[in-house]
Amino acid sequence: MKDSEKRARIARVNAALKELYPDAECALTWGGDDPWRLLVMARLSAQCTDARVNLTAGPLFDRFPDATAMAAAEVSEVEPYVKSCGLYRRKAEDLVLSSRMLLDRFGGRVPDTMDDLLSLPGVGRKIANLLLGDVFGQGGIVTDTHCIRICGRLGFYPEKEKNPYKIERILLGLIDPAEGPAFCHRIVWFGREVCRAQNPACATCPLAARGLCERRARETKAKGARKNG
């Protein structure tokens, strides 16, 4: 597809996803009040399900309710609270060190620029874009596993492309950046309910039914060719 065709397709995909998921909410239930909590939960979500992070967050925030409390903790105190999320030693260290940096460099507030966010331990572009979009209203693309997998299947780039930064740049060239955060949230829900990594529901997929899935169209064409051959 030409870029113009991709832009037209992603606009139709976005419109269809809005119908399916009118309320585009982050799967991490951080409460919407303290951005530090979203930062913490996003860090815990690496190689861990959002559902597990949501369960972990309650006891964790009861014990460490804000950046000040976390910064005052020893890493060993935090580890038991995040152990169920995997990679717990590294995650606990990142949470403590990033909280201390917030107090030392940013007055205890989560910064609102990409460069400042990337200076925090454990924060990469995925977490930074999530915070910039959900907290500060800045456009961006959160290239999580759902986004990478599904947008490749839809035909916006080769499915073999897995580089998050490259995919972020590709998608930013196709969709209005202001639509990016909500689009990515909807992709996550769509990936869980329909376009799963294993056993995707292609036969009942509302995007495939509208001719918006490149992989499905390719598979259907190949199946027809085999049948006719």
Rounded CA-CA distance 109/111 in Å is: 6
User: 6, 94, 126, 134: which one is catalytic?
Assistant: 126
126 an active-site residue?
A: yes
User: 50, 94, 134, 144: which one is catalytic?
Assistant: 144
144 an active-site residue?
A: yes
**Taking Cα atoms as reference points, which of 134, 139, 128, 147 lies closest to residue 176?**
139
Q: Which residues are catalytic?
A: 126, 144
